[in-house]
Amino acid sequence: MEWETVIGLEIHAQLATKSKIFSGASTAYGAEPNTQACAVDLGLPGVLPVLNAEVVRMATAFGLAVDAEVAPRSVFARKNYFYPDLPKGYQISQYELPIVKTGKLIIALENGEEKEIGITRAHLEEDAGKSLHEDFAGMTGIDLNRAGTPLLEIVSEPDMRSAKEAVAYMKKIHTLVQYLGICDGNMQEGSFRCDANVSVRPRGELALGTRTEIKNLNSFRFIERAIAFEVERQIDLLETGGEVVQETRLYDPDRDETRSMRSKEEANDYRYFPDPDLLPVEISADFIEKVRLELPELPDIKRQRFVTELGLSAYDAGLLTASRALSEYFEAVLAELEGEAKLVANWVSGELSGRLHKEGLEIAQCPVSASDLAGLLARVVDDTISGKIAKEVFAAMWAGEGSADEIIAAKGLKQITDTGALDALIDEIIAANPNQAEQLRAGKDKLLGYFVGQVMKATQGKANPGMVNQLLKQKLLGSGKHEGSS
Ligand code: ADP
Ligand code: MG
């Protein structure tokens, strides 16, 4: 039997506010345990939550960016459950009336086709605290710094059909929330994570199979592996006469497997009811329009513009717009090198991104600024140095040795464009290689490359390659006229 995989994701994006969703405590990451939890976050009696207006703006921006309906009225509800890191005994979330409903997102598939993924809803909620199991022998510590941190939970339709599609969707949302400036996207710190709901069904069957939910995946690699494992596990079960049990599972990256955590709770286990401490959130049409006007250029639109306006390939445009910071770096370099989009794109997505990746750095930590890179590429454009030498200069810039011009001067890397100097050198090289010269003249064209190589070697790569080619052809083959040569 052929099986079809069905996946729906619940993504938790931590909203990048300075203070918590219902209190004035700081959301900064990494503070000493319990130093950023006030009476509201601790759930002390007699305190009242006050909604942080910024989270409403952020959720609205997200809703608009995914073509969703931003609800004029949404309601906070209490989701009741007991857990040590939840001092109130309930989490404030949205249930029946979320702030964002029925949106969509287009993802690119590996075969180059596009696919629309439905977004069921996105709702606001508070995060819980953290249990620390490792710090105290035989005991568990509770850190409530994270309690009350604002989250936007983005729930997809069960529209994905493979682990790769799920990752593509997750990456796309990751890019989007960072463009919008509503989430820092830091997955190691848990600012962006997801629960993956996975089921399988016989291909052609319309009804959905029983799903399991894999909790708290915080890396793209883990999502892909966890889903792959889970799909195999479910198929094995079904093919050997077993049944999939609806449950919550955890992925263990060390063993590369998922394990049962608890049986799935139903919504009615949570005794949801509207939180009497909070008013419904009412959003005016004017407010929505104002947020719409303030939206930045979104990644899909920017990617299109890079293709139509700058003439980049769809592939390059995709690479450069994968992160807002990278696209802005690219645009800053290009602003100083008008008309050189292709050259700048090659450098930013090639040499620069390669180095960043190798050293595990983000673009924000790049030691070569956009204007420094523009300074280097300007010397390629005006033929002061070749593309190859530019890489050497770039490495020196990366190491902090100065600007492109300083390095070119200090290392004597200026390209030799003086025909007279090259002329004599080429004559010498031809004289020193009579056999190769003879064979080349007899038709062994490949040897031209040999001569170019010799000239480059003698000049430490500083000869202008175009000029060398022309001079060699002219001298050895009697063709390839070059202006200024006699
Ligand atoms: P809950 O809130 O109890 O986890 P929801 O019905 O809101 O359940 O669904 C949560 C997520 O699970 C959604 O992303 C949805 O698309 C996905 N989902 C629901 N049923 C299935 C299924 N049979 N297979 C895969 N994903 C599913
Ligand atoms: Mg769920």
| pLDDT tens over the chain, length 486 residues | 899 999 999 999 999 999 999 999 999 988 999 999 999 999 899 999 999 999 999 999 999 999 999 999 999 999 999 999 999 999 999 999 999 999 999 998 888 899 999 999 999 999 999 998 888 888 999 999 999 999 999 999 999 999 999 999 999 999 999 999 999 999 999 999 999 999 999 999 999 999 999 999 999 999 999 999 999 999 999 999 999 999 999 998 888 888 888 776 676 789 999 999 999 999 999 999 999 999 999 999 999 999 999 999 988 999 999 989 999 999 999 999 989 999 999 999 999 999 999 999 989 899 999 999 999 999 999 888 888 889 999 999 999 999 999 998 888 777 776 777 788 888 888 888 888 888 888 888 888 888 888 888 888 777 877 788 888 888 887 765 444 443
Q: Does 472 lie in the same domain as 345? A: no
Q: Does 266 lie in the same domain as 169? A: yes
Q: Does 277 lie in the same domain as 204? A: yes
Number of domains in the chain: 3
Q: Is 79 in the pocket of ligand 1 (CB under 6 A)?
A: no
Looking at the CA of 266, name the nearest ligand: 1
Q: How far apart are alpha carbons 181 and 169 in whole angstroms?
A: 18
Query: What residues contact 128, with CB distance under 8 A and at least 6 apart?
Result: 83, 85, 86, 91, 146, 147
Task: Indicate the pairing of strand 247-252 with strand 212-217.
Answer: parallel
CA 479 vs CA 62, 245, 393, 475, 482: distances in Å? 63, 78, 34, 8, 9
Q: How far apart are alpha carbons 419 and 463 in whole angstroms?
A: 10
Q: Is 44 in the pocket of ligand 1 (CB under 6 A)?
A: no
Q: Is 157 in the pocket of ligand 1 (CB under 6 A)?
A: yes
Q: How far apart are alpha carbons 29 and 389 in whole angstroms?
A: 43
Residue 482 resides in a domain: no
Strand partners, 115: 107
Q: Does 400 lie in the same domain as 308? A: yes
- Minimum CA distance residue for ligand 1 atom 2: 267
Q: Is 158 in the pocket of ligand 1 (CB under 6 A)?
A: yes
Could you give the residue ranges of the DSSP H alpha helices within 240-386? 285-294, 299-308, 314-321, 324-335, 341-347, 353-358, 370-381
Separation of 217 CA from ligand 2 center, angstroms?
A: 13
- Asked whether 118 and 311 are in contact (CB, 8 A), the reply is no
Domain of 449, in residue numbers: 419-477
Task: Select from 372, 387, 411 the last residue of a domain.
Answer: 411
Q: How far apart are alpha carbons 134 and 423 in whole angstroms?
A: 73
Separation of 251 CA from ligand 1 center, angstroms?
A: 18
- Asked whether 368 and 397 are in contact (CB, 8 A), the reply is yes
Separation of 301 CA from ligand 1 center, angstroms?
A: 30
Q: Does 150 lie in the same domain as 49? A: yes
Q: Does 59 lie in the same domain as 99? A: yes
Q: Does 461 lie in the same domain as 321? A: no
Q: Is 199 in the pocket of ligand 1 (CB under 6 A)?
A: yes
Q: How far apart are alpha carbons 392 and 460 in whole angstroms?
A: 12
